[in-house]
Amino acid sequence: MSALPLDAAGLPHEASGARSCLPTPVRRGVRVALPVALALLVLPLVTAAHHARPAPYGDRLTVHTRAAGTGTEPGLRTRGRAVEAYDVGGGPRWTYTRAGRRPVTVLPAPGHALTLWDDGMVTDTARADGSSVRWHRAIPQSAPWLRGPAARGGAGVLQPLTPGARMLAVVTPHRIAAYRTVDGDLRWVLPARRGCAFEPARSVRHGAALLLAQPCTSATAAWTAQVIAVDDYGRIVPGRTPLGNGDVRRGAGRGPRPEK
């Protein structure tokens, strides 16, 4: 007996066009079941691909111990390619790494672990429990300089501008950028004077002001042009208008103008 040809659903039918021996509801059920079965096979693959995606910025945050409610914040240090938070006894509380990156320096602040990385990224991690990396900010034109000896291991690059580091200054040769640590909002930017460059490692505090060296290549540049003073509102000059940097309301204090 010769085999019957198959239709599109893989069911036998007679070449003469006679009706299939299977009831109509069965044929319809098979045609509906095939797409559903294919969808069920594809779904685990899509889910697996979703979970396999790398974390943003290559982040990997590992919590070793929970110390909630102790009222103490861990110490911070850089070790190899990781930022480590550790308890009084030296035991690790959490570890933060970024794929292919190395931390240059870390600045401890109440509630914050502010880290500068060798690709010019600044991050803020929840210091107490390492529960999250709150924000990432890229510092333009800084990566080549950070990898060289002139950076002095990131000395002076991260500078708190207010008590408790509510405002953070990131100082590089080309510019000073100030961020609100609660949310990473950029508050103001101060470029270096033409023919001059900031030296982050050469700084001193005087009250609420941060004085920074800005040496110039011109021998005729006055010494007053080679030292600047800033605070959380920007460059300190007469007659400036405060920006309200502590206000986190949407749109409050926008429009960085450090010379005001």
User: Mean pLDDT, to the nearest integer, of 114-135?
Assistant: 96
What are the C-alpha distances in Å from 245 to residues 7, 56, 86, 208, 256? 72, 28, 32, 15, 10
Q: What percent of the chain has pLDDT over 90?
A: 57
CB 74 within 8 A of CB 128: yes
* Strands 133-138 vs 158-160: parallel, antiparallel or unpaired: unpaired
CA angle 166, 172, 178 (to 5 degrees): 25
Scan for tokens 């070790």, then name that residue: 79
Cα–Cα distance between 41 and 90 in angstroms, integer? 49
Over the stretch 138-183, which tens digit does the pLDDT of each residue have? 999 999 999 999 999 999 999 999 888 899 999 999 999 999 999 9
What are the C-alpha distances in Å from 248 to residues 74, 138, 159, 177? 27, 21, 21, 18
Give the per-residue pLDDT at 38: 54
User: Mean pLDDT, to the nearest integer, of 27-40?
Assistant: 55
Over the stretch 50-84, which tens digit does the pLDDT of each residue have? 334 456 799 999 999 765 545 689 999 999 999 99
The answer for residues whose C-beta is within 8 angstroms of residue 212's C-beta and 6 or more apart is: 171, 176, 198, 199, 200, 202, 203, 227, 228, 229, 230
pTM above 0.75, yes or no: no
- CATH class, range 56-138: mainly beta
For the chain, what is the largest distance between any 2 Cα atoms, rounded to a whole number of angstroms? 107
Sheet holding 234-235, edge to edge: 199-206, 209-213, 227-231, 234-235
Q: What percent of the chain has pLDDT over 70?
A: 69
Over the stretch 188-239, which tens digit does the pLDDT of each residue have? 999 999 999 999 999 999 988 999 999 999 888 888 889 999 999 999 988 7
Cα–Cα distance between 187 and 246 in angstroms, integer? 10
Cα–Cα distance between 192 and 89 in angstroms, integer? 44
Cα–Cα distance between 56 and 66 in angstroms, integer? 24
Q: How do the domains of the chain map onto residue ranges?
A: 1-53, 56-138, 152-260
Whether pLDDT at 246 is above 70: no
CB 61 within 8 A of CB 53: no
Whether pLDDT at 95 is above 80: yes
Cα–Cα distance between 206 and 227 in angstroms, integer? 13
